[in-house]
Structure formats: structure tokens, C-alpha cells
Structure 1
């Protein structure tokens, strides 16, 4: 057989293979289309698993303020500024970093007599949001700022500085829960759980936990303040689709 004949035969064989592959692809495509139209789907199961992780909060945020009144706006502002500066100085001396002290509210407004028409003076409200990164010192710091002149304290909340480790723990627990649910359902149906087909998650970080506070005057009078951090919970939810065997 000469080279021309061999080349012709090889070309013919390739053409036959290409045609066969095309025909097979068409058959498979028609089969998939027919299965979709007939509602026949691969055997699978979708479950939702949940998990939680708990830890003691390691930081707290609290709103500390000074409210002052005087006959004139200037007098009220001057007195308020002096008290607020003393409060901030006390916080810094106690180890609170400047970046953790931020003004959250400031206002100057007139005060009125009982008839609501006569201006009797002016009121200044100045509030800072303070992050305390050592929860065990929260009570001590609050006592210091009350002594320094803070007369409004509210909005104390607790949180986790870096929740990623908790999120991992909660997620792993949710995946194990989902697998257990899938195996329980499959076993009851006489099937086995196979490979994971799809997976998705939702991480639930609760808002900072609020703590109700007594009035600053009461705390100063009693000389006793207890701050309890409690426990923070991070939850996770996963949705997993497994194949069934």
C-alpha cells in the first residue's frame, strides 16, 4: 500500500470516529432532554444543618456622657467641655486608647419654663462611645468615669473581638448535623448517602448583647457596680445536597 492510500484510509477512519462521536453526543443530549421533560432527576437529598459555638465576650462598648445646664449656651458649653475633658483624661489614664473613644452625640438646646414658651436656660449633651477591651475592668472604669463627672451611662453591649474561630466551630457543627440528618432520612428510605453535590452556609452573629444600667447617680451613691459579661453565641446554618445511592 502506498503512502497516498494509507493517508486516505486514515482520513476515512478519523471521519468515521468524528461522526460516531457526534451521533453519540446527540443521543446523550436527547436522553438528558427527555429525562428533564419526563421529570426524572438523579436521586438526591437536600438537608439543612445547624450548629452553635459559645464564648465569653472579650470586649464591651458603652455610651458615656455629660449633661450640663446653665443660664446661657456659652456657660453650659464651657462647663460641659471641662467635665467631658476630665472624663476623657480619666479614661486615658486608666489605659483606654484614644482610638477607642469616639464622640457619638453632641447637642445644645434651650430649656423652657413650665408654660413651654419662656427660655430658662440651655442644656448641653455630650456623649462618647467607649470600647473597653478588657471586660474584667469594665466595672472599675465605669466607677472612675462617674467620679470624674459622667452623669449619663447607657447602651452597654458585649461582643467578640475576632469571631472567626467561633464561626468555624459553629460551621463544622452545622455540617455534622446536616450529615446526620441526611443519613437518618436516607436510612429510613432504604438508601445510602453519597457525595456532596452542593453546599451553602449562613453565619449568624447576634447583635451585641445589651446590658441595662442603673442611673449614674445611683451607682455613685451606692459605690457598688457589677458588670456581668455572660456568654456570646454564634450560630451557623448550612444547606447541603447529597446524592443518594
Structure 2
């Protein structure tokens, strides 16, 4: 929440009387890019074998992404963990090997490629697909446009109230409070290892993004 105050000035004889109005606006747009985390989880009794298998699969996935035209700058490692695995039998701890999780974070500029990217990664050994999100490249610009419309909506409400009640409205707001912030990316779905193992294809429907702006505006008036 952000509040904006104009410089100190005379209030045209309002004697401190003011009204508060709320303005709002909503813009519905289609997302134009997506982000996804994908990678591989490998288990083996020998750490070196698990590391080699993890590296092999990630290289295959990365090469396939390059073939699809994904820029290297849009691919980065988001997670690399090595964990020992233990099991308990009759109350006794037994070492079962190591688990390596290697995840990549991708930004897909052509949103229509999202399903193709997931399918290609799975065919090349990916067994973890997480946090698919959809957004727009210049979301701040869309939000600023929506915020402008919300301010206009608030001003119109104040003018209608003043005209109806036969009041003299100071057109310069005394205080503006922004009640919303730009929306985060829209989550889509998280795939489990079992889910993607049985999937024939990955249909992706990004839907729409709703950008909302709300403001509280204080206007001085006189009768």
C-alpha cells in the first residue's frame, strides 16, 4: 500500500471538509511468456554414478532446449542437491545410497512452446516438472495503465458526488492511497514424477491474467 500527498497548499476555503472515494479498474490480458522449473532426480548407491547420470540427463535436456531455440540466457540452474538416503528396518538405520536433484529454471519467450518444451525435456530424461507460471513481459506498463484508469474512476465518483450534493470540489486530490500492487505470475500446475511418466502429451492452456488496481482518494470540498 502506497500513499501519496501533494505539497502543502490552500484548500480554497474547504475548512478541512473532505470526502473519500474509491476508484478501481480491471484489465484482462493474455500472457505472452512462461517460466518453468524442470530437471531430474537420480538415486544410486554410488554417489559418482548418481552424479554422472544426473549430468548426462541435464546435458541431454539442455541440448534439446537449444534445438528448440531457447536462449542460453533463459536457462539457469535453480537447484542442485545431494542427499544421503536411509531406510529403517526393525528400528535399524540402513544406508540406501544417494539422491541428486538437479533443476533448471527456464523462461520461455514464445508461450506456445511451453507444452513442447515440457514434452521434449521429459523425452530426454526429465522426471521433475515444477511451478509453471504465466505472465507478460511488460506487466508494470499494464499495471500503470490500469492504475491510471482507477484514478480516473475515483475522480469521476468525486465529481458526481459534488455535483449531486451541490458542493464545490477541489479538483486536486489531498491524498491518494494505492491499495494494490502489480500481480505476480499466474501459477499453472505442478507435475509429479508419476504424473509425467504416464503423460502422452502436455496440453497447456495459459488462460488470461487479470490486472486490478484500486485506490483511495481524498478530496477537499466546500459548500
Alignment equivalent of 1:235, drawn from 194, 207, 212:
212
Give the structure-1-normalised TM-score: 0.76
* Rounded Cα–Cα distance in structure 1 between residues aligned with 2:122 and 2:107: 16
Aligned pair count reads: 207
Which position in structure 2 is the counterpart of 1:155?
A: 131
Unaligned runs of 5+ in 2: 1-9
Structure with higher helix content: 1
Using the TM superposition, name which of 130-139 and 41-50 deviates more. Answer: 41-50
8 Å contact kept, 1:105–1:127: yes
Taking the aligned partners of 1:232 and 1:199, their CA distance within structure 2 comes to 30
Q: Aligned pair 1:100/2:74, yes or no?
A: yes
Q: Return closer, same or farther for 1:123/1:156 CA change in 2, 3 Å cut-off.
A: same
SS in 1 for 2:93: coil
Distance 1:232 1:140, change over 3 A: same
Matched, 1:74 2:48: yes
Structure 1 residue runs of 5 or longer lacking an equivalent are 1-31, 33-39
Residues 193-232 of structure 1 correspond to what in structure 2 (within 5 A)?
A: 193-200=169-176, 202=178, 203-232=180-209
C-alpha separation between the residues in 1 aligned to 2:143 and 2:199? 40
| Counterpart selection for 1:111 from 58, 71, 85 | 85
Structure (1 or 2) with the greater strand fraction: 2
For 1:235 and 1:72, locate their aligned partners in 2 and report how far apart those are by CA, in whole Å.
Answer: 53
1:199: how far off?
A: 4.8
Q: Which has the higher contact order (CA 8 A, sep 6+)?
A: 2
CA distance in 2, matches of 1:94, 1:150: 16
Compute the displacement of 1:219 (Å).
3.7
CA RMSD of aligned residues (A): 2.2
Q: Which residue of 2 aligns with 1:244?
A: 221
Secondary structure, in 3 states, of the residue corresponding to 1:149? coil
* Structure exhibiting the larger radius of gyration computed from Cα positions: 1
2:109 to 119, 133, 148: 133
Write the distance in 1 (CA, Å) between the matches of 2:94 and 2:197. Answer: 34
